[in-house]
Structure 1
């Protein structure tokens, strides 16, 4: 049963302000972390006495800036192998020992923080059920528990048996008070395939996509010379699965030097070193192409670009919409169809252009001229804002409004009120 927040604060000895715990399993890439960061920063901006702790396994969480009131706890990292299995990312421990360490850290954080709200990103039971003990503890303590899922999980044939195997629906029934879908039903209904009971359906709220703002830019930031002229930005997110897209773009400039705009490639921090070295060698012969490895504030480069070429993960899609940028999406089709489902629906709505993601399979025969023509045509596309459905980018506003209603019983201390 949910307890009144005022009663919970009194039980804590009067410590001021709501406490929020966000769990992000972060087994691969940057998407989960960036989504959680956007939500955390919005919540502390909305109310100055909120404290947010993010639990994350991302090895580069320290590269990102967080708002005042946000901190993080880093658990040992795990990575997904090409065969679908997992292993530790740094420690010389077996996976079971690593999961046990992660579970203990999560439990200790939950017990010490005593959060008023827990937001779980995507995985209802956590990685390898590591979240279940903390869920039981926090449910007993009266913490409000929310599952947040992106607009697309995967095709039904894959995600339904996967969630059944993990006991995800049972966890929803037992522990979760609300489900936030960070999208709109007009684009996709990620939980429709589960035929959930009415008691869970009633807990689902479509928030809209999470709008992104330009972050503060350090004065010392220096971008490659190429960005002084019109350019397209090619981004693969974390980069661990984006090598084939980079290869295709490079082949386009090799085959067609007349492409009128340059291309800035963002490899991502997880690109394989041998592939990156090969790309750099090829780029040395291409005057219209340059690259950087990573930019924690990539929104500035997106804003400056003529358009974006990407694989279409959730966060990149939000940034494309928020910055109203023309985009060419080439979605990967393995190990999940998430990007392909999103891209196909977005193209139908007139928000983006697409190329077949099957061309990203290793060994696929890609037509360099097809990519060259797609880049050339990008500037002729209408802006995505001309096709926006209502409430498309209301996600953070919706989350702020909902949580304000939960926390409004507690006054903001005068000395910490926003200026």
Structure 2
């Protein structure tokens, strides 16, 4: 049986949001693409954070974890390796290029950053296209304030220059909720290649299994839930959550995220009363969201996508540092009634107490939002692969 090879790249300098999106897509491609193309499917997920490789993948798929780069001020620096950033970028670039030269993927899907960190993907893209492989840029629905997004495209050489390296752009959102083509975040040369897929909501894969001998963290209902994504910038919301008063008869589970500092977690555990459990991570967050009476969370893409497939009331308290992505997402979804949102600077423990007491008596229907991106992406991939496939005449010429 013929075989289709897919490669997915995420840079992962901060957190695991990019890798988690690509992992969800990998499962969707593994499930749906064989029936659409008539071929077996294998794949490689290229990631830059060691924690990404702990999450399972479909049969025939694997992780390739690069030496890590992380944010340092306005630039990047090695996460651990004792070298300078330029040398590590070149090492990462050569590693990616060698892997793709060996695997010859039919499709390379890049999450968010078309040229990778400091241009590390530029030679990779040239070689991928010279081999006849397709290249797609996958984008979350919100990038940043339009002015900031425009500056980022210009730093890459302009939108037209970026578009010349791509066959398509997939926007992982509902265009009726938020459309970066209309806000100006996605300039015309890229917008002309773009398709909105719907949120990557329904059909997301299960998270990593719990450690051997450790059962999933599931409090007895009814309970409220606080979830902070990666956790590197969730301490303010966490402190409000552990000091707010819980609704009568409810327990509280606070999931800090794997990147919250250990000393901050220890402090939260000391502040928590007997009805609140503080854990660093949980293997079953989507199920916990679905089972909660109410959720307080930050506004990262994956957390929101997991939330939108439920009817659990949610208060989203977005991160406002570095980017305006999370506040813009929260405001857009609040405008269609999918959630409530407050800025962390304007939120107090009594405010959160009042919200929880009110929210646990309600539900939030979200039936009007397109959450089927994980069904649409395989269809788009199949169409792109079919368009790129050589014709019988080309096959004959190549054989001669």
Aligned to 1:249: 241
Equivalent residue number for residue 357 of structure 2: 376
TM-score, normalised on structure 2?
Answer: 0.88
| Alignment pair present for 1:27 and 2:5 | no
Query: Is the Cα contact below 8 Å between 1:107 and 1:134 reproduced in 2?
Result: yes
Aligned with residue 150 of structure 1, among 140, 157, 160: 140
Contact 1:269–1:294 (CA under 8 A) maintained in structure 2: yes
Determine the C-alpha separation between the residues in 2 that align with 1:322 and 1:397: 14
Superposition deviation, residue 59 in structure 1: 1.7
Is the 8 Å Cα contact of residues 266 and 292 (structure 1) preserved in structure 2?
A: yes
Matches of 2:185 and 2:246, distance apart in 1 = 49
Alignment of 1:220-369 (within 5 A): 222-224=215-217, 227-252=219-244, 256=245, 260-283=249-272, 286-359=273-346, 366-369=347-350
Aligned to 1:6: none
Distance 1:172 1:324, change over 3 A: farther
Superposition deviation, residue 120 in structure 1? 0.7
Q: Distance in 2 between matches of 1:394 and 1:223?
A: 27
State whether residues 102 and 130 of structure 1, in contact with CA within 8 Å, keep that contact through their aligned partners in structure 2: yes
Change (3 A) 1:28 1:153: same
TM-fit CA distance, 1:203? 1.4
2-structure distance, mates of 1:307, 1:251: 16
* 2:107–2:135 contact (8 Å) kept in structure 1: yes
Q: Does 1:78 align with 2:64?
A: no
Q: 1: CA distance between counterparts of 2:113 and 2:157?
A: 11
For residue 228 of structure 1, give the secondary structure of its aligned residue in structure 2: coil
| Structure 1 position 307, deviation (Å) | 2.4
Residue 414 of structure 1: aligned partner: none
Partner of 1:138, secondary structure, is: helix
8 Å Cα contact 1:245-1:330 kept in structure 2: yes
Q: Specify whether residues 408 and 156 from structure 1 end up closer, same or farther in structure 2 by C-alpha distance, changes over 3 A only.
A: closer
Q: Counterpart of 2:163 in 1: which secondary structure?
A: helix
Q: Which 5+ residue runs of structure 1 have no aligned equivalent?
A: 1-14, 360-365, 411-419
1:61 aligns to 2:52 (yes or no):
yes
Task: Give the C-alpha shift of residue 140 in structure 1.
Answer: 1.4
| Distance in 2, Cα, partners of 1:55 & 1:311 | 26
In structure 1, C-alpha distance between the alignment counterparts of 2:382 and 2:246, rounded to whole Å = 54
Secondary structure at 2:359's aligned position in 1? helix
1:158/1:260 CA distance change after superposition, 3 Å? farther
Q: Between 293-302 and 95-104, report the one with greater CA deviation.
A: 293-302
Distance in structure 2 (CA, Å) of the matches to 1:357 and 1:404: 43
Deviations 1:348-402 (A, max 9, x none): 100001122334xxxxxx521011111222223432325x24xx11211111222
**Which residue in the other structure is 1:5 paired with?**
none
> What is the aligned partner in structure 1 of residue 23 from structure 2?
37
Change (3 A) 1:196 1:224: closer
Alpha-carbon separation, structure 2, partners of 1:75 and 1:262: 40
> Which of 126, 129, 134 is matched with 2:124 structurally?
134
Q: Paired residue for 1:210, among 194, 200, 207?
A: 200
RMSD over aligned CA atoms reads 2.3
Q: 1:114 aligns with which of 104, 110, 119?
A: 104
* Separation of aligned partners in 2, 1:381 and 1:331: 22
SS class of match (1:106): helix
Instruction: Verify the 8 A CA contact 1:148 1:182 in the aligned structure 2.
Output: yes
**Deviation per CA, 1:287-335, whole angstroms, max 9, x where unpaired?**
1110211124322222322222111111111101123322110111111
Pairwise CA distance, 1:16: 2.9
Q: Under a length normalisation based on structure 1, what TM-score does the superposition of the two structures give?
A: 0.84
Distance 1:194 1:304 in 2: 36
What is the aligned length? 379
Alpha-carbon distance in structure 2 between the residues aligned to 1:165 and 1:405? 31
> What secondary structure does 1:51 align onto?
strand
Q: CA deviation at 1:212?
A: 4.0
Query: Which residues of structure 2 form unaligned runs of 5+?
Result: 35-39, 390-400
Is contact 1:259–1:372 with CA below 8 Å preserved after alignment? no
Q: Does 1:177 align with 2:177?
A: no
Aligned partners of 2:375 and 2:265: how far apart in 1? 39
Match status 1:400 vs 2:378 = yes
For the residue of structure 1 that corresponds to 2:180, the secondary structure is coil
With over 3 angstroms needed to count, the CA separation of the structure-2 counterparts of 1:72 and 1:195, relative to structure 1, is closer
Shift in Å, 1:138: 0.9
1:26: how far off? 0.8
